[in-house]
Structure 1
Amino acid sequence: MNRFFPPSRPRAVQGGLVARSKRGAIGQQWWSERFVAVLEGMGMSGRLQRGRTYARKGQVLSVDVDAGVVTALVQGSRARPYRVRIGITAFGKAEWAAIERDLAGHAWYLARLLAGEMPEDIEEVFRGIGLSLFPAQARDLSLDCTCPDWEVPCKHLAATFYLLAEAFDDDPFRILAWRGRAREELLDNLRAARSDQPPGAADSAPSGAPLEDLLDSYFSVQGRLPRTLAPSSSTTALLDQLPPVDVTVRGRALTELLRPAYERDEAPTTGGIV
């Protein structure tokens, strides 16, 4: 039997987390919009809508993001705030090693992440090794709230989702931290992977040096260029430069059959425009 709880008004909160968005969608950056869109695509839009009011009124007291779990306190109609938990699978060491290897192999990803931005196609990196950055379906999340509402997600969970989306707006690295890799650890690992060069490579191009320290020598030759021989003016010399050709015609090598024609082209001619 379904339990019925009469409508109740949440207790007023002083100093709660208030959503910046006062109307319309919550979440301005593509990654937070993507997060909310995934959730709404799971059929949660009705409950998320009811959670917007809580998020905009400041009923959420705190939101903490850790590896594999988001915890929050949300003030409802009772004296004690409800404890909210949103769980997701945090990737292991081997999975993060593969992710970081792919990210470090592309200067574009590295530059965007070092600038504090989330590359728009970063999901392709995760998808390429069989992972998903964002939850793909409802069962990818474990949702818990201490409120008496039996439906999931309740408005307290929904309010947390919206405040979480705005937290992702402020710092996209929180998404990665939720999946198990903190910002500084990720960037340190990417820098280390990027600077892992073959022996001698660091002597000619120190990857750790700031660009402004290299401006005076940026366009100078960084090493000795290989010497090349001047091209021969003899057309028959081209035949001598060919790799071995295992083709014979009536017992004669192909290059020897072509040599008379090259010698005719090399002979001086008269007339023409000088």
Structure 2
Amino acid sequence: MTPPPDRLRSAPARVRRSRPSAVTHEDRRRTFPAVVPWTGEETATTWWGREWTRALEESALDPARLARGRAYARRGLVDAITITPGRITAYVHGSRPRPYRTRIGLRVLGDGEWDELLAAAAGPEYFSALLDKDVPRALAATADLLPGPGDLIPDCSCPDDGFPCKHAAALCYQTARLLDEDPFALFLLRGRGEREILAALIRHDSTGGPGPAGGAGTGEGPRLPTVPADTAGALHRPVGVLPPPFPVPAHPGRPPAGSDEPGAPDPLALDLLATEAAHRAHALLTTGADPVAGLTVWEDTVRLAAAHPGAGLTASTRTLYRDLAGAVGRTATELARAVAAWHQGGRAALAVLEEPWDPPAGPFDRAGPALAAAGLPAFRPLRNRLSTPAVQLRLGRDGLWYGYESDPGREEWWPRGTPDTDPVGAATALLGP
């Protein structure tokens, strides 16, 4: 979805970048996590959030698309939102499996507008309001901080040519809720980050002008009083009690969708790794133990492949198998067989698949007569394995019997069934009673 031609022609003239200043990249780029689904018709609670939605709704050409966008936002279909000067970007889920890349553009304020805004904001009543995440109306009017009708320029990778499409509308509505919580996101969208603004306000208060970051001052101003580091360290002030940690969430979070632009990393691989990292971090927080500690590279590769739902059944997951197996010098078939063993019994079952061994006298010797007494076919012993042409039992070092199946005469054994302490039980699960 792209704006109508008249808006495309006017957009370059509307977006004017302010003069660069010495700021960090992190201050000029912020990513906000996806907001959980919400209920109710109200999309914004602050006056500036409502003004934001009004600018969207008064320029929209189709109220029906706005309603669908509002429903998308309420259902939590907008992923993490990234804000940089002049642009809001997010992935919005729609009717297809891969989400749409959606953007909202807004003109960046010029240096002169920023000088006026900072000069007004340096007043004590406005400064304290900003620190409390509040935006006085008079301050916002100083430099037209809030957008008006037609100021928001939407763009989306979906085929809908509406202005805006429902995905862009959903992003706007979700942004309004974000601005309710952190109005500094609006300042960033207009060109300057929170730390940059606060530093400029402090300089303005100490020098009587906005200083170099505001684009007007040239001198350094009077030096602020300082304390030598060794003197500060010798004060030995008592350390206060730290607040209790935040409660651990009940479930790991969902990672944002990866980019589908040409040359970007594979979104499926990124999703797999991000989901894996989230589950591993959640396990560390809840149990204090790392579930991956002690695994070899091959074991961890099998575990990763086994954790992917539906692995091996689609073209994308077959590609995943091929890439994972190739990275460790194995074939996709070897990985698929190892995943079957991992599903059967985890790390212990993988060892049974790949490590034949000679069990001591005892349970293994008694297994043959027990199987014969149960009326099951004759099993041929070899090391820790008992085999018929189609079924095989393997004794693990953990004392469990693991079932395997193969097409007769092919000797291509695949793990099947659930491990059992009784060889008769393991065999019956494969052969039937």
Q: What's the secondary structure of 2:207's corresponding residue?
A: coil
C-alpha spacing 1:162/1:187, structure 2 compared with 1 (3 Å): same
Q: Aligned to 2:82, what secondary structure does the other structure show?
A: strand
Q: CA RMSD in A?
A: 2.5
Matched, 1:86 2:104: yes
Q: Contact 1:112 / 1:119 at 8 angstroms: preserved in 2?
A: yes
Q: Distance between the aligned counterparts of 1:159 and 1:111, measured in 2?
A: 32
2:64 matched to which residue of 1?
A: 46
Question: 1:68 is matched with which residue: 86, 92, 110?
Answer: 86
Instruction: Name the aligned partner's letter for residue 91 of structure 1.
Output: L
Q: CA deviation at 1:16?
A: 5.5
**2:148 maps to what in 1?**
136
Show the 5 A alignment for 1:1-274: 17-20=35-38, 22-43=39-60, 45-104=63-122, 106-126=123-143, 132-138=144-150, 140-197=151-208
Structure 2: tracts of 5 or more residues without a match: 1-32, 210-221, 227-433
- Percent identity of the aligned residues? 36
1:67 deviates by: 0.6
How many Å apart are 1:17 and its aligned residue? 3.4
Give how far 1:18 is off.
3.0
Work out the CA distance in 1 between the residues paired with 2:225 and 2:76: 46
Deviations 1:9-55 (A, max 9, x none): xxxxxx963343x1122111111111112222224543221111111
Tell me how far apart the structure 2 counterparts of residues 197 and 170 of structure 1 sit (CA, whole Å): 31
How many angstroms apart in 2 are the aligned matches of 1:197 and 1:71? 37
Answer whether contact 1:60 1:75 (CA < 8 A) is retained: yes
> Could you tell me which amino acid in structure 2 is paired with residue 149 of structure 1?
D
TM-score normalized with structure 1 length: 0.60
Instruction: Give the equivalent residue in structure 2 for 1:222.
Output: none
SS in 1 for 2:41: coil
Q: Name the SS of the counterpart of 1:192 in structure 2.
A: helix
The DSSP-based 3-state class of the residue aligned with 2:135 is: coil
Change over 3 Å in CA distance of 1:16–1:177 after alignment to 2: closer
Name the SS of the counterpart of 1:177 in structure 2.
Answer: helix
CA separation of 1:37/1:133 partners in 2, compared to 1, >3 Å: closer, same or farther? same
Higher relative contact order (Cα pairs below 8 Å, separated by 6+ residues): 1
Whole-angstrom CA distance in 2 between matches of 1:135 and 1:115:
22
SS in 2 for 1:58: coil
Would you identify which runs of 4 or more consecutive aligned residues in structure 1 move more than 6 Å? none
Letter of the 2:36 partner, please give it: V
Structure 2 CA distance for partners of 1:122 and 1:173, relative to 1, 3 Å: same
Distance 2:34 2:87 in 1: 21
Is the 1:62–1:74 contact (alpha carbons within 8 Å) kept by the matching residues of 2? no
Whole-Å separation in 1 of the counterparts to 2:160 and 2:65: 12
The amino acid that maps onto 2:125 is W
- Structure 1's unaligned 5+ residue stretches are 1-14, 127-131, 209-274
2:118 counterpart SS class: helix
Secondary structure at the aligned position of 2:79 is classed as strand
Which residue identity does 1:42 align to in structure 2? S
C-alpha spacing 1:124/1:94, structure 2 compared with 1 (3 Å)? closer
